[in-house]
Amino acid sequence: MPIRNLVTGGAGFIGSHLVEHLVARGESVTVWDDLSTGRVSNLSRVRDDITTIFSDINTDAALLDTVIQRVDVVYHLAAAVGVDLVVNRPIQSMRTNIALAELVIETCAKYRRPMFLASTSEVYGKSTRVPFQEDDDVCYGATTKHRWSYAMSKAIDEFYLLCYSDMFGLPGVAGRLFNTVGPRQVPFHGMVLPRFIHQALTGQPITVYGDGNQRRCFTHVADIVPAIVRLVHCCEASGQIVNLGSSEEISILDLAHRVKDKTKSESPIVHVPYELAYRDGFEDLLRRVPDTSKAKRLVDFKVTRSMDNILCDAITHERAAMSGA
Ligand code: UDP
């Protein structure tokens, strides 16, 4: 009998790649997504191979209980993602990110289902001690700055997972994802790479926030997904927090130039002050680099896709999406 999986947020960018990967492994998949940011079209390649539930998970705890009881593994990826979304809809985002995660974690603990919780490098906050190790201290700004609600809500999810693991034997692992990118990531919720590509391909100015010296490590979703699956099946990873991401840094200004060159775009590169891009008092992070020695040790995590490869894939996808393909 094939392994039965539940993927919450399975119609989203990372979720849909995970679903395709599980289907390719011959596993059975139920996707549960409220389609707030996910899209049915993301699942077009596997539509006939999966079961879907498109509704708000929060409002149907009884169905969630039934579904989790019937599956072998749970991947919890449903969340409010993207700085734009979190800054503009903080209450809804916190509700989704905390209450829903608690419900999924609690139900997985009840049935002892192995689960993966998608967390984020945002949890490190504005710590400047790179590379970040999972046990490092975290450092957040004032609660008056909405951005930190995302970091704190994901940190609370991690606390839930660790506590349920310690106290009730939940076989759960959380992956802190560092700027995962690739085909199907949409330009609408603030994520920089799809935004730059969309701007370049439509001749709009490429908007670099601040001076563009802030740096990030972008990781192709195709490198992240197999690691997620290996982690949830790795006994030693149970009860652990694990960084997943590339260590290759690029400044946002360099990224803008690389996108402009690769797309042969005429778009100007413009600098936008942070207070115009987000709102007053927004704090950006200068660097975010993962230490991935734990992921390497546990599941032999390797990054195989270069920045060039990432750019080619993401540009090809956006061109196809714009032409309606
Ligand atoms: N950014 C930018 N222009 C944009 C969107 C984002 O310069 O149009 C910057 C953003 O301020 C941040 C970086 O790109 O410094 C990465 O932003 P993203 O929201 O993709 O990820 P995160 O901030 O979570 O790393």
Q: Is 150 a catalytic residue?
A: yes
Residue 232: the pLDDT is 98
d(CA 121, CA 50): 30
pLDDT in tens, 155-200: 999 999 999 999 999 999 999 999 999 999 998 888 999 999 999 9
Mean pLDDT on 85-108? 90
pLDDT digits (tens, 9 = 90+) for 209-267: 999 999 999 999 999 999 999 999 999 999 999 999 999 999 999 999 999 999 999 99
Q: How many beta carbons lie within 10 A of that of residue 280, not counting itself?
A: 8
Express each pLDDT in 9-51 by its tens digit: 999 999 999 999 999 999 999 999 999 999 999 999 999 999 9
**What pLDDT is recorded for position 285?**
87
- pTM passes above 0.85: yes
Ligand 1 atom showing the smallest separation from residue 216 Cα: 25
CA of 183 to the centre of ligand 1 (A): 18
Beta bridge partners of 139: 125
In this prediction, residue 325 carries a pLDDT of 67
Bridge partners, residue 206, by sequence: 269
**Cα–ligand 1 centroid distance for 267 (angstroms):** 18
At 23 the pLDDT is 98
| Atom 5 (ligand 1) nearest CA | 192
H or E stretch at 228 = helix 221-232
Burial of 149 (0-12, 13-18, 19+ CB in 10 A): buried
Burial class (CB within 10 angstroms; exposed 0-12, middle 13-18, buried 19+) of 323: exposed
Distance (Å, rounded) from C-alpha 220 to C-alpha 181?
Answer: 5
How high does pLDDT run on average in the chain?
A: 94
Question: How far is it, in rounded angstroms, from Cα 325 to Cα 321?
Answer: 6
What 3-state DSSP class applies to 176? strand
How far out from the chain centre does Cα 62 lie? Answer: 27
CA 3 to ligand 1 centroid distance, Å: 37
Atom of ligand 1 lying closest to residue 208 CA = 7
For ligand 1, which residues put their CB under 6 angstroms from it? 83, 122, 179, 190-192, 195, 207-209, 214, 216, 252, 284
